[in-house]
């Protein structure tokens, strides 16, 4: 089988690109870290890749607001290229800062104007901890076999998912665009710190109606191996893949 090529976008302030590259390589893909300027200059062509990934970090120092500068550079620089890429049924994935970028560039929850945001955490501080997540039944193929409760780490100051008006959240829910929700260890609603940011509906990740544009605040690339999880022994596991690995494997398997 030909391994799918993943373009991992990076700019100044990106700091999860190496982990994301390793995650996709471990899952059987051919990832490549590519600077935004290489796409803008034409040195690299997005069409030569099967998926675009915007990893976590603090792009351009998160000046103005988290992900906003990179979102604007995409919107006024390579938006047509990405729109064409999406039109060919190729996935676009955003993790943490990448989720912020996809929201603020108007690609999520559906292409068009910005209908949602990821605002400052209700705690008004940076939140860095492992959380429980309930994987929902969604239209995305990248969460196949992941239904149930998983654990992934979060690390963000601006992760509170909010929408412009109530009917947008109603549409996201009814169209099964919610990927996962913050919860307690039993899968029930969890207030702070279980929900680290106060997101509406405890939402930790969403996708577009095709299921191929995906954004999430938790970091699956930091949970590739089970022993990364702080309670791995308590879960009765004996090593092997962690909860985050399944996501990357599902993305790679999508192309097979």
Instruction: Kindly report the length of the chain.
Output: 256
Residue 189 appears among annotated catalytic residues: no
Strand order in the sheet with 213-216: 30-35, 5-10, 51-54, 92-95, 213-216, 203-207, 178-183, 127-135, 148-156
The distance from CA 189 to its chain's CA centroid, rounded to whole angstroms, is 21
Of residues 207, 195, 185, the one with CA closest to residue 159: 195
> Choosing from 21, 158, 219, 229, which is the catalytic residue?
219
- Choosing from 16, 96, 183, 207, the catalytic residue is 96
Q: Are 197 and 127 in contact (CB under 8 A)?
A: yes
Q: Which is the catalytic residue, given 16, 19, 221, 229?
A: 221
Based on the residue annotation, tell me whether 221 is a catalytic residue of this protein.
Answer: yes
User: E strands within the chain?
Assistant: 5-10, 30-35, 51-54, 92-95, 116-119, 127-135, 148-156, 160-163, 178-183, 203-207, 213-216
Give the residue numbers marked as catalytic. Answer: 96, 219, 221
């Amino acid at each position: 089988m030909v391994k799918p090529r993943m373009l991992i976008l990076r700019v100044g302030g990106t700091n999860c690109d190496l982990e994301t590259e390793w995650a996709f390589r471990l899952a059987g893909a051919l990832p490549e870290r590519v600077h935004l300027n290489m796409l803008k200059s034409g040195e690299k062509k997005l069409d030569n890749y099967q998926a675009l990934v915007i990893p976590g970090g603090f792009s351009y120092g998160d000046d103005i607001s988290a992900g906003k500068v990179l979102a604007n550079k995409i919107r006024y620089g390579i938006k047509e290229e990405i729109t064409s890429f999406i039109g060919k049924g190729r996935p676009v994935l955003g993790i943490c800062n990448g989720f912020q970028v996809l929201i603020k560039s108007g690609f999520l929850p559906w292409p068009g104007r910005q209908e949602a945001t990821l605002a400052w955490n209700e705690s008004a501080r940076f939140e860095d901890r492992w959380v429980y997540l309930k994987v929902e039944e969604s239209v995305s193929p990248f969460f196949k076999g992941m239904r149930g409760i998983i654990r992934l780490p979060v690390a963000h100051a601006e992760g509170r998912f909010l929408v412009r008006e109530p009917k947008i959240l109603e549409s996201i829910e009814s169209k099964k665009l919610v990927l996962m929700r913050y919860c307690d260890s039993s899968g029930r609603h969890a207030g702070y710190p279980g929900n680290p940011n106060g997101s509406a509906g405890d939402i930790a990740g969403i996708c577009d109606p095709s299921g191929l544009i995906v954004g999430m605040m938790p970091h699956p690339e930091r949970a590739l191996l089970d022993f990364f999880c702080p309670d791995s022994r308590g879960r009765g596991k004996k090593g092997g893949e962690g909860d985050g690995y399944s996501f990357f494997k599902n993305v790679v398997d999508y192309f097979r």
